[in-house]
Copies of this chain bind each other. A is one copy, B any other.
Amino acid sequence: MSDVKVPSPTLRRLPKYLNYLRRLQELGEVAISASTMSRDLDIQHTQVRKDLAVTGVQGVPKVGHKIDILIDAIEKFLDWNTLTPAVIVGAGNLGSALLGYRAFQRSGLSIVEAFDLNQDKIGQKLHDVTVYHIDDLVNHVKAKQIPIGIITVSAKAAQNVANLLVDAGIQAIWNFSHEKLNVPPSVIVEDVELDSSLAELSYHLKQRH
């Protein structure tokens, strides 16, 4: 819970635990042991314990963990217990799909505005979110102090969009484009690596033959 650096793999596994725990909770379960989680999720039990430990929870020998406490701890740790506003830039196929993805609510993300260049889209509502012209981006983001910008434009346009977001005082960028973004060190950039995932699939498929 403190200053100790959390390994990135641990961070990336936390949503898996969270998802699994929420499912158990829906099924009416109350408690769970790290050993059982280990089996169900195919993660070493020692690893599960270390991962959960970063959130500050403590289990009870012979009993395990209360599910509601675990869920709460992970949500708080990731800051997923409150909604953080975000804007999306690029109202194409992908942008529109993300706007319609209600599950982000469970991950603390609330997309409040969208921006695009295409005049046909401007003024429209996509999944209850209004699309504005990209010229309005800086003013809107500044005024509302939006901390997160989601980039779903082409690689060619991505750096320009990033510059606008930085000008508007954005704190973090979730980058779905293929472009390696150049931003000041104070701005957090998280790349979604769809290609990397597909590369693993393609390579392993090739290896089968």
Q: Size class of A's contact patch?
A: 35 or more
Q: A178-201: which have CB < 8 Å to B?
A: 178, 180, 188, 190-201
Selected from B16, B99, B109, B203, the residue in CB contact (under 8 A) with A78 is B203
Chain B contacts of A104 at CB under 8 A?
Answer: 198
Closest Cβ neighbor of A14 among chain B residues: B199
Chain B contacts of A80 at CB under 8 A?
Answer: 202
Q: Do B205 and A84 touch (CB < 8 A)?
A: yes
A94 adjacent to chain B (CB < 8 Å): yes
With A and B bound together, what is the CA distance between A148 and B42 in angstroms? 23
Q: Do A11 and B203 touch (CB < 8 A)?
A: yes
Q: Do A79 and B203 touch (CB < 8 A)?
A: yes
With A and B bound together, what is the CA distance between A93 and B95 in angstroms? 10
A15 adjacent to chain B (CB < 8 Å): yes
A172 adjacent to chain B (CB < 8 Å): yes
Q: Do B107 and A202 touch (CB < 8 A)?
A: yes
Q: A108-165: which have CB < 8 Å to B?
A: 108-109, 127, 147-148, 155
Q: Say how far A145's CB is from chain B's closest CB, in angstroms.
A: 13
With A and B bound together, what is the CA distance between A41 and B15 in angstroms? 28
Q: Say how far A84's CB is from chain B's closest CB, in angstroms.
A: 7
With contact pairs A42-B180, A94-B97, A94-B101 given, residues A11 and B78 touching in the complex (Cβ less than 8 Å) = no
Q: Do B108 and A12 touch (CB < 8 A)?
A: no
Q: Do A12 and B200 touch (CB < 8 A)?
A: yes
Closest Cβ neighbor of A204 among chain B residues: B188
Q: Do B79 and A205 touch (CB < 8 A)?
A: yes
With contact pairs A96-B97, A172-B204 given, residues A196 and B79 touching in the complex (Cβ less than 8 Å) = no
With contact pairs A19-B155, A42-B180, A97-B97 given, residues A84 and B192 touching in the complex (Cβ less than 8 Å) = no
Name A's B-contacting residues (CB within 8 A): 6, 8, 11-16, 19-20, 23, 40-42, 77-80, 84, 92-94, 96-97, 99-101, 103-104, 107-109, 127, 147-148, 155, 171-172, 174, 178, 180, 188, 190-206, 208
